[in-house]
Structure 1
Amino acid sequence: MVSNRLNKVHKQITKKKGKSPNLHENSRDTQRLQRAAGRDDKINRLGKVREKQNRTYLLRIKSFQQFTTEHSSTLSIPEIQAMIEDYLGRDDEELAKLKADRRPGRPPMTRQTLLEQNQVVEQGEYASGFWVPDLEDEANLRKLKEWNGQWANLATLKFARISKEGFKRDSSFPPKGMS
């Protein structure tokens, strides 16, 4: 995909040189095109990294959106905790299957190791406060049901951290540390 900035540079060069410019290998115009392409690649690369980092939170919020489809009223902390525990147990069947399929004495598969590490991280987060949409607020519950799955549209939602002991703290978007 060619970016807008790269198009602008290319357009400026063709305006100056003509329809089919023959550019020297180390000319100023070639260097301008290379810098524009480099900027474009950097922006695309950083965007992909950011998408990958945000994917876990998007999947989490989508699953809570699916959990709340049958609820029309706000939820209590124990109900939210039950949803969190259901969410945390989503990979248990696959993990058990991977453990059962492994021959004795063999090292675990990479997928099994990744799932176990993910579970440890999420259990640790749940002990200190699991980042979820605030489901005790009626307006927020309605916004969550209407959410279209885009990261940018999450800014309108309120979030909270629910701990294993049942404590609730307001949180911010995007999640940073223990906010």
Structure 2
Amino acid sequence: MPKTSFEKTRKAIAKKKGPIESLHQYSRDSKRLHRAQVRDEKLEKIAASRRKNDQPYRTYVHQYDEELDEIKKSRRKGRPPSTKEDLFKMKIESLQKEWRNGFRQYL
């Protein structure tokens, strides 16, 4: 997990001054720590809203999973996959590829 800017700032101040508890409330270093903490909170908030907005796309990508599972369960053991199953696999694969790479066309 990457370090947050708060952790980096805290570590830099600790190297320079010693323990963080020795800072007084309105010192430059305490303001640096506060700014770093606010920055991290803001970035986390933005990331959470992005993850929330991506949810519909994730459900769209996995829309054929249930049908594919049903087809796999109904197939007898030792039989090759049916054409319908192959089509579902190809659809799922293409949707996942689009999700990973965007809608870019490769020549």
- TM-score scaled to structure 2, two decimals? 0.64
User: Which structure's residues are more often strand, by fraction?
Assistant: 1
* TM superposition shift of 1:20: 4.3
The alignment of Structure 1 onto Structure 2 pairs a total of residues equal to 88
Q: Which residue does 2:31 correspond to in 1?
A: 31
Matches within 5 A, 1:58-137: 58-69=58-69, 70=71, 71-74=84-87
Residue 99 of structure 2 corresponds to residue 154 of structure 1: yes
Q: Which residue does 2:75 correspond to in 1?
A: none
Contact 2:62 2:92 in 1 (8 A): no
- Output one character per residue of 1:47-78: Cα deviation in whole Å (capped at 9) or x when no partner: 11111111122122223333344342226xxx
Q: Which residue does 1:118 correspond to in 2?
A: none
The structure whose Rg is larger is 2
CA distance in 1 between partners of 2:35 and 2:57 (Å): 34
Change (3 A) 1:55 1:142: closer
CA distance in 2 between partners of 1:142 and 1:39 (Å): 38
CA distance in 1 between partners of 2:20 and 2:37 (Å): 19
Contact 2:64 2:92 in 1 (8 A): no
- TM-score scaled to structure 1, two decimals? 0.41
Change (3 A) 1:60 1:142: closer
Q: Structure 2 stretches of 5 or more lacking a match?
A: 72-83
Q: Structure 1 stretches of 5 or more lacking a match?
A: 76-134, 148-152, 159-171, 174-179
* TM superposition shift of 1:143: 6.1
CA distance in 2 between partners of 1:73 and 1:7 (Å): 50
CA distance in 2 between partners of 1:52 and 1:32 (Å): 30
One-letter amino acid of the structure 1 residue matched with residue 6 of structure 2: L
Percentage identity across paired residues of the two chains: 26
CA distance in 1 between partners of 2:20 and 2:9 (Å): 14
Across the aligned residues of Structure 1 and Structure 2, the Cα RMSD in angstroms comes to: 2.9
Q: Which residue does 1:6 correspond to in 2?
A: 6
CA distance in 2 between partners of 1:141 and 1:40 (Å): 36
CA distance in 2 between partners of 1:36 and 1:23 (Å): 16
One-letter amino acid of the structure 1 residue matched with residue 46 of structure 2: L
Contact 1:13 1:29 in 2 (8 A): yes
Change (3 A) 1:20 1:6: closer
